[in-house]
Structure 1
Amino acid sequence: MGAKIHPTAVVEPGARLADGVQVGPFCYIGEEVEVGENTLFGPHCSVHGPTRIGRDNRFVGHCAVGGEPQDKKYGGERTELVIGDRNLFREFVTLNRGTGGGGGVTRIGSDNWMLAYTHVAHDCQVGNHCVFSNNATLAGHVTVGDHVILSGFVGVHQFCRIGAHAFIGMGAFVNGDVPPFVMVAQEGYGRPRGINAEGLKRRGFGPERIAAIKRAYRALYLGSGSLDEARARLAELAAQSDDVRAFLEFVDSGERPLLR
Structure 2
Amino acid sequence: MSRIHATAVVDAGARIADGVEIGPWCIVGPGVVLEADVRLVSHAVVQQDTTVGARTVIHPFAVIGGDPQHTGYKGETVRLEIGTDNSIREHSTFNRGTPQGTGVTRVGSNGLFMTGAHVGHDCVVGDNVVMANNATLGGHARVGSKVFLGGLAAVHQNGRVGQGAIVGGLAAVTRDVIPYGSAWGNHARLHGLNLIGLKRKGYDKTAIRRLLAAYRDLFEGGGTFAERLDAVEGAYADLPEIMEITAFIREDGKRPLCLPGE
Q: Which of 231, 243, 248 is equivalent to 1:233?
A: 231
Q: Which of 188, 191, 194 is equivalent to 1:193?
A: 191
Tell me the distance in 2 between the aligned counterparts of 1:94 and 1:222.
40
Tell me the distance in 2 between the aligned counterparts of 1:133 and 1:43.
21
- The alpha-carbon deviation at position 52 of structure 1 amounts to 0.7
Q: 1:18 aligns to what?
A: 17
Tell me the distance in 1 between the aligned counterparts of 2:51 and 2:71.
24
Tell me the distance in 2 between the aligned counterparts of 1:220 and 1:178.
14
Retained in 1: the 8 A contact 2:219–2:225?
A: no
Residues 128-181 of structure 1 show CA distances to partners (whole Å, capped at 9, x for unaligned) of 011100010000000000100001010100101100110001111100111101
Runs of 4+ in structure 1 over 4 Å off: none
> For 2:100, what is the secondary structure of its paired residue?
helix
Structure 2: 5+ residue stretches without partners: none
Q: 1:146 aligns to what?
A: 145
Q: 1:243 aligns to what?
A: 241
> For 1:183, what is the secondary structure of its paired residue?
strand
Tell me the distance in 1 between the aligned counterparts of 2:214 and 2:176.
16
> For 2:80, what is the secondary structure of its paired residue?
strand
> For 1:14, what is the secondary structure of its paired residue?
coil
State the AA in 2 paired with 1:210: I
Tell me the distance in 2 between the aligned counterparts of 1:190 and 1:208.
29
% identity of equivalent residues = 39
- The alpha-carbon deviation at position 220 of structure 1 amounts to 2.9
After superposing the two structures, state which structure 1 stretch, 203-212 or 161-170, moved more. 203-212
Q: 2:34 aligns to what?
A: 35
Structure 1: 5+ residue stretches without partners: none
Retained in 2: the 8 A contact 1:12–1:31?
A: yes
- The alpha-carbon deviation at position 225 of structure 1 amounts to 3.1
Retained in 2: the 8 A contact 1:212–1:244?
A: no
Tell me the distance in 1 between the aligned counterparts of 2:208 and 2:252.
24
Q: 2:89 aligns to what?
A: 90
Q: 1:214 aligns to what?
A: 212
- The alpha-carbon deviation at position 254 of structure 1 amounts to 3.2
The size of the alignment, in residue pairs, is 258
TM-score (norm 2): 0.95
State the AA in 2 paired with 1:12: D
Retained in 2: the 8 A contact 1:115–1:132?
A: yes
Tell me the distance in 2 between the aligned counterparts of 1:112 and 1:167.
15
